[in-house]
Amino acid sequence: MNAKTLTLIKKVAAILLLVCFVLPLSRCTTKAEIGAENAVKETHLYAYELAGAAWNDVKANEAGGLSALFAVLNVFFVPAICLALKDRLQAAICFFASFVSAYFLYCWVFVFSTRAEIGGIIATGCWMLLFGISCVTLWRLYRRGSLFKWVHKG
């Protein structure tokens, strides 16, 4: 694929991740009461609710609030912010951010839920694309000898 196609795919993935911020990531089904056999309670996990809860934790100086807020911002906003950067830096940031995002998305969408929802599936797919494009970009830069251009000024 050429560079323009990869850039277009990155832009679309970044926009889709921003949209996924308000889409349901997963669904959890639990029993509503201990004595009720057929009564179930379904809850949906939304990223904006995670961000709101993390922000409230940060304001209350509770442990874990800042890391949860960082996780939500990393998963949904880092690719859009990276679009303003040069290819080399963008690829490096998305490459390393993919590991953090993969962990949290996997937990939110597949581990702590009973069913993945559309937002979680789209977000997972977008991060898979961004990781793959970052790997391709970094590999191309390495092969051209310009990956570490800012380090070696020779």
Q: What's the maximum distance between 2 C-alpha atoms anywhere in the chain?
A: 74
Q: Give tens-digit pLDDT for 36-65.
A: 566 667 888 899 999 999 999 999 988 888
Q: Which pair of structure tokens corresponds to residue 74? A: 């990393």
The pLDDT of 114-132, averaged and rounded, is 93
User: Which residue matches tokens 């702590």?
Assistant: 112
Q: Tell me, what amino acid is at 113?
A: S
Q: Please report the pLDDT score of residue 31 as a whole number.
A: 63
Region 75-84: mean pLDDT is: 93
pLDDT category at 154 given cuts 50, 70, 90 is very low
Token pair belonging to 32: 């509503």
Kindly report which listed range (40-44, 109-113, 116-120) carries the lowest average pLDDT score.
40-44
